[in-house]
């Protein structure tokens, strides 16, 4: 037994000396594009002013503020929204109806309708930090995730929102709120 352990020892040592690939920590181009989409820079603002402006925007958009860590510049908010798609619902009801019409032996069970998305929980996290080169500027990054539940309350889908128009719309509203915050309105 000890002899076998001695034979395996060099193999274990060689495996332990493996190095990471050269590009192991390099972000992909799509990750960089996503980060750019989620990030904006605001000048002549403090973290407190940014958090105040973003709180106002999020509340106007129907979000509940879950947590604010002012010293860290972190804010999290969430809301529940309708996740039904009219086109999907009509198609699903039509499929169930067609099954009922063409299946005289089977009862109408509404299986397609119960698989429809019902509600979605949307969670937004905002992080603000001073720019490294210029402490008067603040970098703001948001990420948005959504969890979709079907009509029976089962998890249907989880995803990070990667839609430029969603982030652009938020930052447009944020820019207006930042302007109002700077003007003291």
76 occurs within a structural domain = yes
The distance from CA 44 to its chain's CA centroid, rounded to whole angstroms, is 28
Structure confidence at residue 100 (pLDDT): 45
Structure confidence at residue 38 (pLDDT): 95
68 occurs within a structural domain = yes
104 occurs within a structural domain = no
Question: What domain count does the chain have?
Answer: 1
Which residue range(s) make up the domain with 49? 38-84+117-183
**Is-contact 79 62, C-beta < 8 A?**
yes
61 occurs within a structural domain = yes
Instruction: DSSP for 90-151, please give it.
Output: HHHHHHHHHHHHH-SSS----HHHHTSEEEEEEEEEEEEEE-SS-TTSEEEEEEEEEEEEET
Predicted confidence (pLDDT) at residue 97 exceeds the cutoff of 50: no
Beta strands 155-160; 117-130: pairing state: unpaired
122 occurs within a structural domain = yes
pLDDT digits (tens, 9 = 90+) for 136-170: 889 999 999 999 998 888 888 999 999 999 999 99
Residue 20 host element (H or E): none
* Backbone angle region of 104, left / alpha / beta, with phi > 0 → left and psi within -120 to 50 → alpha: alpha
33 occurs within a structural domain = no
31 occurs within a structural domain = no
Which CA distances in Å does 23 have to 20, 27, 30? 8, 8, 15
Greater pLDDT, 48 or 16: 48
3-state secondary structure of 179: helix
Residue 137 host element (H or E): none
64 occurs within a structural domain = yes
Beta strands 155-160; 138-150: pairing state: antiparallel
CATH number of the structural domain spanning residue 140: 3.30.310.80
Structure confidence at residue 183 (pLDDT): 83
pLDDT digits (tens, 9 = 90+) for 2-34: 666 666 666 665 566 667 677 666 767 788 889
**What phi, psi does 82 have (nearest 5°)?**
-65, 140
Question: Which two tokens mark 133?
Answer: 């080169």
């Amino acid at each position: 037994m000890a002899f076998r352990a001695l034979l395996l020892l060099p193999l274990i040592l060689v495996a332990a000396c493996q190095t990471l690939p050269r590009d192991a920590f390099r972000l992909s181009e799509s990750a960089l594009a996503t980060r750019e989409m989620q990030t904006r820079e605001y000048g002549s603002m403090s973290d407190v002013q940014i958090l105040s402006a973003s709180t106002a925007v999020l509340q106007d958009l129907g979000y509940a503020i879950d947590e604010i860590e002012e010293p860290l510049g972190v804010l999290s908010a969430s809301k529940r929204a309708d996740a039904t798609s009219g086109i999907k619902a009509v198609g699903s009801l039509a499929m169930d109806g067609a099954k009922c019409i063409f299946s005289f032996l089977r009862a109408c069970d509404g299986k397609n309708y119960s698989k429809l998305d019902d509600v979605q929980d949307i969670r937004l996290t905002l992080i603000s930090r001073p720019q490294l080169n210029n402490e008067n500027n603040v970098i703001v990054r948001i990420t948005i995730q959504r969890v979709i539940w079907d009509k029976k309350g089962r998890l249907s889908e989880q995803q990070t929102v990667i839609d430029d128009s969603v982030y652009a719309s938020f930052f447009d509203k944020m820019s207006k709120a930042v302007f109002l915050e700077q003007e003291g309105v």
